[in-house]
Amino acid sequence: MLNGTRSIIKLPKLVLASGSPRRAEILQSVGWEFDTDIPNINESELAGESPAGYVQRLAKTKAETIAERHAGEIVLGADTTVVIDKQIIGKPLDLDDAKRMLKMLSGNWHEVLTGVAIVNNGKTQVGIQNTRVKFSEMNNVEIDFLAEKGDPLDKAGAYAVQAQAALFIEGIEGDYWNVVGLPISLLYRFVKNTTSE
């Protein structure tokens, strides 16, 4: 205790424009208060769109769509995708598709990109976080295990770094929380910037 006073960081309440349980869990883990409002948008890629452009556009669209319903509140939009050999690997369609994706990731480095957008007082701030992840070589039994036990169908790249996939991840370069689904440090910097203006 310094001279009887304490400095407290005040995290402003957010509206999370996402139904992702991982993003909700990350916000809860740092004590960030939020409401959830899930946008209904078209998430298809545009012709010629880069992976970085894709995730930032979706994050911005999600945040701005929900901000229309929450005037005066800070709205967070985010979108995460996996990229290997410059190809976007989204969420698998079924278990066979999940196994196909995991075979692509086996023994290779890939990138996890998350676009983050904050709408506050009618202004939108958009950015991106990039993390590299290396999977060990996996045999067919291990791929089947990961597809069947790892609940892959709602996850970009068909895996969750904090669950069964951790058995096969050899290295991470960059922000771990980005791979989980929300680069919380980038979000904090964004919110700090928008609320200090």
Of 46, 61, 62, 182, nearest to 113 by C-alpha is 182
Q: Quote the distance between the C-alpha of residue 191 and its chain's center.
A: 17
Other CB atoms closer than 10 Å to residue 38's CB: what's the count? 12
Phi-psi region of 181 (alpha: psi -120 to 50; beta: other; left: phi over 0): left
Pull the structure tokens for residue 94.
């079924």
* Segment (H or E) for 130: strand 123-135
User: For strand 74-84 and strand 34-36, is the pairing parallel, antiparallel, or unpaired?
Assistant: unpaired
Are residues 159 and 125 in contact, defined by beta-carbon separation less than 8 angstroms? Answer: no
Give me the catalytic one of 35, 37, 79, 97.
Answer: 79
- Tokens 């945040």 correspond to 63
Beta-ladder partners of 132: 111, 173
Other CB atoms closer than 10 Å to residue 88's CB: what's the count? 17
Active site residue 79: yes
Side chain identity, residue 42: N
Residues acting as catalytic residues: 79
